Amino acid sequence: MTEQRPLGSGFGPATTAAEVIAGEDLGGKVAIVTGGYSGLGLVAARTLAEAGAEVVVPARDRAKAQAAVQGGAPLQLEQLDLMDPASIDGFAQRFLDSRRPLHLLINSAGIMAPPLMRDARGYESQFSTNHLGHFQLTARLWPALKKAGGARVVQVSSRGHARGGVTLEDVNYERRPYEGWEGYAQSKSANILFALELDARGQADGVRAFSLHPGGIMTNLGRFTPAEHLRAFDIIDDQGKPVVDPARDRKSPEQGAATIVWCAVSPQLEGKGGVYCEDCDIAAAAPADGSTGAGVRPWAIDPQIARELWALSERLTGVRFL
């Protein structure tokens, strides 16, 4: 595993996705970006496509996605519902049937702090969508990732992981009271732990994995959060407009997508993996009781917890990596 310590990348909080990818030619590369039809995912998908990559964007509602992606570099829309195992398998099989390698898999789709909802299996919606759906998707696409002869998987996590780790004995809130932000923190810690273990397992096949915090950005992810809470978090101002102040981790979508794109394509990360990143650099390791949101907490980069989460994820999905 790469050391969890900043590289001194030369980028920073105000860097944009376009600045990160400047000079990169992704011609011949194939990417999948979940959540690639809105918010940060759309900026990341378009940035990769403009650099020459063939970009596939899976969406639960293709008509809505089609309207959102009009204009700009072309994106290939496909059907996918991350809370539906059959839908995940169907999408992955269609991609495998195309016999294309997969160079970049960006797992960006997610939900944040909704009321308690469950998928058809009874799994809590944030853990199902943000973690288990992407776990199954990555597993099903594994042959295409190996075929690339050098691939990256990017997990979009959040500083929200600092609110708490994964409660392995009750991930689906069957025996404890549900709290939306706690569930979000659990799912975002799971994203980081998944990248850690995926990198350890995938390195021999040329697949490296990264996780990241994009920044505080006003996107559709906040649809379950009341406006008064967004104002209290300083995400929107009194007029309801997004706050952009990258020095305080309040970013535009172009700035927020920068770390996603940096993890996906930066030559500075060649030969590295398994690390959590922010502001277009590897983040520092932070203590459990850290007073700021910056850095990654111990429970999200513990290899033993990562292995236990992997085993639990296999049991809950019935899926193994081949």
Q: Which residues are catalytic?
A: 184
CB 41, CB 62: distance < 8 Å: no
CB 133, CB 317: distance < 8 Å: no
Angle at 231 between CA 258 and CA 171, to 5 degrees: 70
Closest CA to 137 of 95, 101, 103: 95
DSSP type of residue 124: B
Tell me the C-alpha distance between 152 and 30, whole Å: 11
Q: Residue 306 — left, alpha, or beta (φ > 0 → left; ψ -120 to 50 → alpha)?
A: alpha
Tell me the C-alpha distance between 189 and 288, whole Å: 13
Neighbours of 230 (CB within 10 A): 18
